[in-house]
Amino acid sequence: MIWNPAAETASRAERCRLQLERLRGAVAWAGERVPFYREAFAAADVDPSAIKSLDDLARPPFTRKSHLRDQYPWGLFAVPREALVRVHASSGTKGKPTIVGYTRGDLEMWREVMARSLALAGAEPGHLIHNAYGYGLFTGGLGVHDGAEHMGVTVLPVSSGNTLRQILLLQDFRPQGLACTPSFALHIGETMREQGLDPRAVGVGYGIFGAEPWTEAMRRQIEALWGLRAVDCYGLSEIIGPGVAMECVEFRAGLHVNDDHFLPEIVDPVSGDPLPEGAEGELVLTCLTKEALPMIRYRTGDLTSLDAAPCRCGRTTARIARIKGRADDMLVIKGVNVYPSQLEAALLTLDELAPHYQLVVDRTAGFPTLEVHVEPAEARVVAWGGFDAARPEVRGLSERVGEMLRGHLGLNLVVTIVPPKTIPRSEGKAVRVVERS
Ligand SMILES: [Zn+2]
């Protein structure tokens, strides 16, 4: 079903008119209320009333994550703290967390875009969704929760972690939808298999997977394990949380952006220059309707491309391609740019490996080196009669994987085959890269 046909199937002309009207309002609101924007617009000579077309959007300067950190906690807000009804925060892996906040109106908008997103994944009123995204400061859990309630879905607020309880509830409640990180879906399914249970027997129809980058290869693994349709869910707390964009379950040809609320652009990640439709670059988003925390031309750091053509599902919203990686996540090893997602895509093509990996970047020497940790597939270990790193079969596997990755990436790296189940399993967001410095 299409949750809001008027908004999601509007003609291009109607959509552009609405976007332009809302853009003027959003720029004016930010400029009047937030000193940071007032100064930035003055410096760039931006006059909200002079915005005549969407192309004029290229004039206001960018907002970056560092601005949120510099203005911690309330500096970028357009309303007094008392007007907020909810606050969330990013995990804050680098220093202070990023604080985001919502007025009552913002929460209403979030529920609306989240209900559209759940409908894109295949949800309908009356369904049951097992929500294993983390509840708390992270936006994933409560974002999905509110959207599900809003659309009349029964939501099971399990939150992340506690895999055994997840399994018990999945078996007893038999939900139509499973919402969690893709790595956690994999972990729950594998744990079931170890217990002699078949994840397919739960009968989950669709999976709403996001909050970490993943690949088509990972999608195939999860679908084979669970027998469900896996859809890619995209969002970020600075913009709203989950609900920014989602694939349609029927065609999965890019993620539909709720572009009457979040205006997407693609720019060159280095120069910041706008790129034409279809070109790959960094996604920049402008919040068109947000009250508490306006975001004008926010640099997401995510690499993708934009497609404005209508989708066969009937929706006319712009679509972004699956996120290729974050500009921030890019590793530079001996002058070669590497995205963890590239490595994942290559690794998951090998049946001989378990679908878990970790990248260890060692910066203790003069130049960084990359070591890839992978586990052999369970069937291999059984065939070998147990794991022993000194076995010729293990060394042979390590050589084959190394050769394949070097061929794919044009980069010298070390592959270490580690004993089964020693790579930490994720009950939330997977940690793919470990830095030694
Ligand atoms: Zn579609």
Predicted pLDDT of residue 368: 80
Predicted pLDDT of residue 92: 57
Whether 102 and 137 map to the same domain: the answer is: yes
Give 369 Cα–ligand 1 centroid separation in angstroms.
41
CA distances from 374 to 184, 234, 411 (A): 17, 27, 17
Predicted pLDDT of residue 94: 58
Predicted pLDDT of residue 168: 98
Whether 212 and 345 map to the same domain: the answer is: no
Whether 210 and 359 map to the same domain: the answer is: no
Whether 277 and 339 map to the same domain: the answer is: no
What is the rounded CA–CA span in Å between residue 323 and residue 371? 24
Please check whether residue 322 is in contact with residue 232, taking contact to mean a CB–CB distance below 8 angstroms. yes
Give 312 Cα–ligand 1 centroid separation in angstroms.
6
Give 253 Cα–ligand 1 centroid separation in angstroms.
7
Query: Which tokens in the block code for residue 10?
Result: 């509007």
Q: What is the DSSP letter of 63?
A: B
CB atoms within 10 A of CB 334: 12
Give 27 Cα–ligand 1 centroid separation in angstroms.
30
Give 429 Cα–ligand 1 centroid separation in angstroms.
27
Predicted pLDDT of residue 141: 97
Helix (H, G, I), strand (E, B) or coil at 275: coil
Give 349 Cα–ligand 1 centroid separation in angstroms.
27
What is the rounded CA–CA span in Å between residue 437 and residue 365? 8
Of 256, 260, 243, nearest to 14 by C-alpha is: 260
Strands (E), 269-335: 281-287, 298-304, 306-307, 319-320, 325-326, 331-333
Among 293, 327, 361, the domain-final residue is 327
Whether 373 and 254 map to the same domain: the answer is: no
Whether 335 and 321 map to the same domain: the answer is: no
Query: Which tokens in the block code for residue 346?
Result: 């290559």
Give 318 Cα–ligand 1 centroid separation in angstroms.
10
Predicted pLDDT of residue 60: 80
Give 53 Cα–ligand 1 centroid separation in angstroms.
27
What is the rounded CA–CA span in Å between residue 306 and residue 201? 38
Whether 285 and 405 map to the same domain: the answer is: no
Whether 10 and 115 map to the same domain: the answer is: yes
Please check whether residue 118 is in contact with residue 151, taking contact to mean a CB–CB distance below 8 angstroms. yes
- Residue by residue, pLDDT tens for the chain (437 residues) are 999 999 999 999 999 999 999 999 999 999 999 999 999 999 988 888 888 887 887 778 899 988 998 899 999 999 999 999 999 998 655 567 889 999 999 999 999 999 999 999 999 999 999 999 999 999 999 999 999 999 999 999 999 999 999 999 999 999 999 999 999 999 999 999 999 999 999 999 999 999 888 889 899 999 999 999 999 999 999 999 999 999 999 999 999 999 999 999 999 988 899 999 999 999 999 999 999 999 999 999 999 999 999 999 999 999 999 998 776 677 877 777 787 877 888 888 888 998 889 999 888 877 788 999 999 998 899 999 999 988 999 999 999 999 988 888 878 889 999 999 999 887 777 788 888 87
Give 245 Cα–ligand 1 centroid separation in angstroms.
11
Give 259 Cα–ligand 1 centroid separation in angstroms.
14
Give 280 Cα–ligand 1 centroid separation in angstroms.
20
Among 327, 349, 370, the domain-final residue is 327
Whether 225 and 340 map to the same domain: the answer is: no
Query: Which tokens in the block code for residue 375?
Result: 């586990």
Give 44 Cα–ligand 1 centroid separation in angstroms.
37
Give 252 Cα–ligand 1 centroid separation in angstroms.
7
What is the rounded CA–CA span in Å between residue 62 and residue 72? 18
CATH number of the domain to which 425 belongs: 3.30.300.30
Please check whether residue 177 is in contact with residue 206, taking contact to mean a CB–CB distance below 8 angstroms. yes
Alpha helix locations (H) across 139-215? 139-151, 163-173, 182-194
Give 261 Cα–ligand 1 centroid separation in angstroms.
18
CATH number of the domain to which 305 belongs: 3.40.50.12780
Predicted pLDDT of residue 162: 93
Whether 322 and 427 map to the same domain: the answer is: no
Of 15, 252, 243, nearest to 7 by C-alpha is: 15
Give 26 Cα–ligand 1 centroid separation in angstroms.
28
What is the rounded CA–CA span in Å between residue 81 and residue 103? 9
Task: Tell me which residue range forms the domain holding 362.
Answer: 330-436
Give 4 Cα–ligand 1 centroid separation in angstroms.
14
Please check whether residue 288 is in contact with residue 23, taking contact to mean a CB–CB distance below 8 angstroms. yes
What is the rounded CA–CA span in Å between residue 271 and residue 263? 20
Instruction: Give residue for tokens 């090893």.
Output: 333
Predicted pLDDT of residue 91: 64
Give 251 Cα–ligand 1 centroid separation in angstroms.
6
Among 277, 298, 327, the domain-final residue is 327
Q: For the range 268-276, what are the long-range contacts, defined as Cβ-Cβ under 8 Å and sequence gap of 24 or more?
A: 269/303, 269/327, 272/62, 274/58
Give 247 Cα–ligand 1 centroid separation in angstroms.
7
Give 105 Cα–ligand 1 centroid separation in angstroms.
27
Whether 311 and 387 map to the same domain: the answer is: no
Give 313 Cα–ligand 1 centroid separation in angstroms.
4
Give 9 Cα–ligand 1 centroid separation in angstroms.
10
Whether 264 and 352 map to the same domain: the answer is: no
Give 319 Cα–ligand 1 centroid separation in angstroms.
8
Domain count, the chain: 2
Instruction: Give residue for tokens 């552009």.
Output: 16
Give 120 Cα–ligand 1 centroid separation in angstroms.
8
Give 249 Cα–ligand 1 centroid separation in angstroms.
8
Give 255 Cα–ligand 1 centroid separation in angstroms.
8
